[in-house]
Amino acid sequence: MKFIDANTATDLDRFYAIGSEIYSQNPYYRASEDDILRLVIDGPTFFHKHAQVNPIIVEKDGILICRFAFILDSLLPDYVQVAFFEAKFGLENIAEEIINEAKNRFPNKIKICFGLNGHLNYGAGILLNNFDKVPIFGLPYNLPYYKDYFSKLEARKILSFKFPARTSENFINLTSKIKLDKNISIKKLNKKNLSEYSKIYTQLNNTCFREHPFWAEREAVEDLELFEQFQFLIQEENLLIAEYSGEPVGFLFWFPDFNQLLKRNRELKASSNFSKDVLRFKLFNPIKAFRFTEIGVDPKFRKKGIEMALINQMVQDVLIAGYKSGIGGFIFEENKDSINMAIKYIERICGEKVVPDSQYAVFETNLR
């Protein structure tokens, strides 16, 4: 195998094109993450100030068979990340070949991981099941043989779950009975002040998630760059901020399944208010599902009902919007407290059981 740094325009074109080639006949794949892929690979972004991003293409007998990026982030100093991995079928030793290449290039690194795309907020995970359905927006999709390439590595599994979004007697009764601490208030995103809300979001992420696997501290500008990618699709109710006596202490982020705007292998067109998918979403919204992406509460303010207040507000907004189901809980399996908390509150509000959905994994091993 020949590893080639994609430093030229021609090689970068090949780097991007292999994804379309691999999924050209797959009815479930949606190219909705291409904007984030290009953001991280091409830059320039604030992320590149502390991370080295090296796009790589791999040839065998002159044929392009694989692409990925080596990412070295000073905020995750032990790791070589193998990000945005795509590969053709029948490459049984591809993981071993990449590991050996990493050892040669980065002899001082301790570990390597496959499936982390620079940062958890940019995307993570190799899909392990549910290959025969369109993924919800923001969650990874790949072909079934990908997981076999990493079978010899440690799998840090990630879980998602599915739940209904419809009015029930339980919800009506619960809403009338909720007695929240009078110090708790919920604010919705003010899109005219996106920068300030992005700053609050980042601060709360850094406070709430620093114990999560693979978490790295963020700067507000990095998350603002992400919000700006989808600012014409995100609505004010999608980002909720919980305040306690006027101090931001928690947040919840959710959004519609924008993949339902797309047909097979098509990119999302959302760069302006007049883009194709933005107009379709605003004028004739065909979306029936949403993604419950993140919820976090400052550890000092947990057990005060803030989680309940945030989820209660989300459910009300989801019902008004007319969505029928949700996918949530992209949570590492080892983080059982977060899983149990999310399931408990959703079941209390929806009055129905949460059921398992897709599974993913970030694979890792030692380099020494």
Q: Does 354 have pLDDT greater than 90?
A: no
pLDDT at 163: 83
At residue 319, the pLDDT reads: 86
| CA gap 163, 345 in Å, rounded | 12
How far are the Cα atoms of 23, 53, 282, 298 from residue 285, in angstroms, in the given order? 26, 37, 6, 35
Q: In what helix (H) or strand (E) does residue 80 lie, and over which residues does it extend?
A: strand 79-87
Task: For residue range 4-47, list pLDDT tens digits in order.
Answer: 999 999 999 999 999 989 999 999 999 888 899 999 999 899 99
Asked whether this chain's domains 2-158 and 162-359 adopt the same fold, the reply is yes
The structure's pTM equals: 0.92
Determine the Cα–Cα distance for residues 226 and 221; give it in Å rounded to an integer: 9
Whether residue 230 is predicted with pLDDT greater than 60 in this model: the reply is: yes
For 254-276, what is each residue's pLDDT tens digit? 999 999 999 877 788 888 998 99
Q: Where are the domains of the chain?
A: 2-158, 162-359
Architecture of domain 2-158: 3-Layer(aba) Sandwich (3.40)
| Helical pair 34-42 and 9-22, crossing angle rounded to 10 deg | 160
For residues 156-182, give the mean pLDDT: 72
Amino acid identity, position 252: L
- In the numeric block, which tokens belong to residue 103? 């050892």
Q: In the predicted model, what is the mean pLDDT of the chain?
A: 91
| Residue from 171, 121, 317 nearest 238 by CA | 317
Percentage with pLDDT > 90 across the chain: 72
Q: What is the pLDDT of residues 49-108, one digit of tens each?
A: 999 999 999 999 999 999 999 999 999 999 999 999 999 999 999 999 999 999 999 999
What is the helix (H) or strand (E) element at residue 176, kind and residue range? helix 169-177
Q: Does residue 169 have a pLDDT over 70?
A: no
Residues 348 and 364: their CA atoms lie apart, in Å, by 36
Q: Select 162-359's CATH number: 3.60.15.10, 3.40.50.720, 3.40.630.30, 3.40.50.920.
A: 3.40.630.30
Mean pLDDT of 149-174: 80
* 331 closest CA partner among 290, 364, 363, 359: 359
